[in-house]
Amino acid sequence: MGEDLHIQGVAYSPEKRAPVIAISIVRVNGIPVYGTTREFDGAQIAQIDSHHFAFELVFEGLSLLPGAYFLRAHAMDTEGLRLFDTLSIEFVVKGQSRESGFCRLPHYWVDSPN
């Protein structure tokens, strides 16, 4: 909890075009927490050869609360119609927080409210 999460991978594209890379975080009970794609963020990926593309996504200061999650990665055609590959990895966020929910939201308490 609070540390950077680095996600690195190599995606295969039979079309020889950079695939859509979608990354999502899901609680182990199936509830979605967050998802994004490289296209949403306007990110480029590196072409290794005619069919392979490397990517890296970093979540800075991961604000997920302690618990078990799945990281899911999907590679799709550029139109988002055909799924080339999917990967699901379980991971655990450790920490001392007793807060509830999925993530820590920045906040502060006012000592003397008016």
**Structural domains in the chain?**
5-93 (2.60.40.10)
Tell me the pLDDT tens digit for each residue of 52-105: 999 999 999 889 999 999 999 999 998 878 999 899 999 999 988 888 888 888
Structure tokens at 66: 């302690």
Tell me the pLDDT tens digit for each residue of 21-59: 999 999 999 999 999 998 888 888 999 999 999 999 999
Among 97, 29, 21, 109, residue whose Cα is nearest residue 63: 97
- Reported pTM: 0.83
Burial of residue 62 (number of CB atoms within 10 Å: 0-12, 13-18, 19+): middle
